[in-house]
């Protein structure tokens, strides 16, 4: 036994390669790549152990909001550390968790008055699924044994088994299928690759009709409808047509099925509104929030729901109607303190106005790729951008997966001091809502340059 791990001149790259198993990362390729070891942050830059700077083009995986080392959030967390870093919410309370609940309820769509904390995006969805399931067994006029959920094709709601059950990304989920519960799946209403016999318009219409048909057919069995409102992130930044969310809300209202809106990715300004549901004036029965909730500082999640759902869990303690669910770090004080500071910054820094400016800038800059021979589609809502690369723009035939084209593009960007991360051959840009326009412009320029360079090289067979 030694204190070797504290050695200031430790061979961190070697230790990383032999000890750290990275998420969503093919490790045999990773250990050959000498990935930067991030040791600092400064505004919208990441700084590695050699002192090199990189623009953080994906908000540190979709969670950073106002940048790194933001004085107001740093201060709020430090103040909280001096009071207390963590105590439990099981039967006790804490000041930051109360204040943040109030701040979230005041800003969320109408009727979402109850806040259940957890510590990640997946847990917020797990909580909503279990609450919805239990609700039908305890609601007035019940019990009803509703036993399944309706979800959208290619959905992503996290990596725990409950959230994988309502997810639909084959590459991530197929291996676990025997461990999952059954769901009803409606096709994702997007139309890059249209099934035989459909036009663009008839396919989208079919998707609207299909969700109507499925909710009507299964509503007595549906404990809830789960969806990522407006944008399906992990599926490749798929942007839903206007009116789809409202359509699903209307169906849920008509057939009395709770709507679970997973705003883990789209929440906190990323689509141009504080919450994506606001685009269609939709109030869901459950609102799942994580990623950006602490400004990207600390792991925290919150599931908001209505009095109607909440009240079905009331009763004398011995009746057993309680929601028996919780995580040790639920509503952590440091996370909530960061969350409060972040909410305040949305107002004092007028973050949503910056999002509007930068979204418009991105559309303008990326228009240069509209005619690129290897760009199939540029999808964008606010600051969420997916650029899908293909071998053949006409047939939409992909590049061979062995090329790892998307990965090559992000390695080229890294050499140019920009950190981005693809989803397969979809290049994702996800600048922080607070990122100033000149950085966003640079992010677009480098992305365009790298896409062009790498696709040329691959097409030339180099
Ligand atoms: C990232 C994400 C999750 C999972 O959040 P974690 O904090 O990684 O568990 C859930 N839903 C959506 C839409 C996401 O993008």
Closest to 381 measured CA to CA, from 267, 211, 288: 267
Question: Ligand 1: which of 157, 235, 297, 381 to mutate, most ligand atoms within 8 Å of CB?
Answer: 157
What is the Å distance from ligand 1's center to 264 Cα? 5
What pLDDT is recorded for position 174?
A: 84
Q: Are 58 and 430 in contact (CB under 8 A)?
A: yes
Say how far apart CA 360 and CA 255 lie, in whole Å.
38
What is the Å distance from ligand 1's center to 260 Cα? 14
Q: Is the CB of 233 under 6 A from ligand 1?
A: yes
Q: Is the CB of 270 under 6 A from ligand 1?
A: no
Residues of the chain with CATH 3.40.640.10: 72-348
- Note the pTM of the prediction, 2 decimals: 0.98
Nearest CA to ligand 1 atom 5: 121
CATH no. for 72-348? 3.40.640.10
Q: Are 258 and 252 in contact (CB under 8 A)?
A: yes
**Closest ligand 1 atom number to CA of residue 228:** 13
What is the Å distance from ligand 1's center to 265 Cα? 6
CATH no. for 4-66+350-459? 3.90.1150.10
Nearest CA to ligand 1 atom 11: 157
What is the Å distance from ligand 1's center to 238 Cα? 15
pLDDT tens digit at each of 462 positions of the chain = 789 999 888 899 999 999 999 999 999 999 999 999 999 999 999 999 999 999 999 999 999 999 999 999 999 999 999 999 999 999 999 999 999 999 999 999 999 999 999 999 999 999 999 999 999 999 999 999 999 999 999 999 999 999 999 999 888 888 999 999 999 999 999 999 999 999 999 999 999 999 999 999 999 999 999 999 999 999 999 999 999 999 999 999 999 999 999 999 999 999 999 999 999 999 999 999 999 999 999 999 999 999 999 999 999 999 999 999 999 999 999 999 999 999 999 999 999 999 999 999 999 999 999 999 999 999 999 999 999 999 999 999 999 999 999 999 999 999 999 999 999 999 999 999 999 999 999 999 999 999 999 999 998 886
Q: Is the CB of 120 under 6 A from ligand 1?
A: yes
What is the Å distance from ligand 1's center to 288 Cα? 10
Q: Is the CB of 228 under 6 A from ligand 1?
A: yes
Q: Is the CB of 122 under 6 A from ligand 1?
A: yes
What is the Å distance from ligand 1's center to 121 Cα? 4
What pLDDT is recorded for position 462?
A: 64
Residues of the chain with CATH 3.90.1150.10: 4-66+350-459
Q: Is the CB of 264 under 6 A from ligand 1?
A: yes
């Amino acid at each position: 036994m030694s204190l070797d791990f504290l050695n200031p001149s430790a061979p961190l790259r070697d230790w990383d390669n032999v000890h750290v198993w990275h998420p969503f990362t093919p490790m045999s390729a990773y250990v050959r790549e000498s990935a930067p070891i991030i040791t600092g942050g400064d505004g919208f830059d990441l700084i590695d152990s050699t002192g090199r700077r990189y623009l953080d083009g994906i908000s540190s995986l979709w969670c950073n909001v106002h940048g790194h080392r933001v004085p107001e959030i740093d201060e709020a967390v430090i103040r909280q550390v001096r009071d207390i870093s963590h105590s439990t919410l099981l039967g006790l309370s804490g000041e930051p968790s109360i204040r943040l609940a109030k701040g979230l309820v005041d800003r969320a769509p109408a009727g979402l008055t109850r806040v259940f904390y957890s510590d990640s995006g997946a847990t917020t969805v797990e909580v909503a699924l279990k609450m919805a399931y239990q609700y039908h067994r305890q609601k007035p006029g019940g019990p009803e044994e509703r036993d399944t959920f309706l979800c959208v094709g290619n959905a992503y709601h996290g990596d725990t088994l409950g959230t994988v059950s309502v997810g639909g990304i084959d590459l991530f989920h197929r291996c676990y299928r025997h461990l999952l519960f059954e769901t009803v799946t409606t096709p994702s209403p997007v139309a890059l690759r249209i099934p035989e016999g459909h036009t663009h318009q008839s396919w989208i219409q079919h998707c609207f009709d299909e969700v109507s048909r499925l909710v009507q057919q299964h509503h007595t069995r549906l404990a809830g409808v789960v969806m990522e409102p407006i944008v399906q992130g992990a599926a490749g930044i798929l942007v839903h047509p206007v009116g789809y969310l409202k359509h699903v809300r209307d169906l849920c209202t008509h057939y009395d099925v709770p709507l679970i809106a997973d705003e883990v990715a789209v929440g906190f300004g990323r689509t141009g509104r504080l919450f994506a549901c606001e685009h269609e004036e939709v109030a869901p029965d459950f609102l799942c929030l994580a990623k950006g909730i602490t400004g990207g500082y600390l792991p925290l999640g919150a599931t908001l729901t209505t009095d109607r759902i909440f009240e079905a869990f009331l009763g004398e303690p011995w009746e057993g109607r309680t929601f028996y669910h919780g995580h040790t770090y639920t509503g952590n004080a440091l996370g909530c303190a960061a969350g409060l500071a972040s909410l305040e910054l949305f107002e004092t820094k007028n973050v949503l106005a910056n999002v509007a400016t930068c979204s418009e800038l991105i559309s303008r800059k990326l228009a240069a790729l509209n005619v690129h021979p290897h760009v199939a589609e540029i999808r964008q809502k606010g600051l969420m951008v997916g650029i899908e690369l293909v071998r053949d723009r006409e047939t939409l035939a992909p590049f061979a997966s062995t090329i790892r084209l998307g990965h090559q593009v992000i390695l080229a960007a890294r050499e140019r001091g920009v950190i981005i991360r693809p989803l397969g051959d979809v290049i994702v840009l996800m600048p922080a809502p607070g990122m100033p326009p000149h950085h966003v412009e640079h992010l677009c320029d480098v992305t365009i340059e790298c896409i062009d360079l790498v696709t040329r090289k691959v097409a030339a067979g180099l």
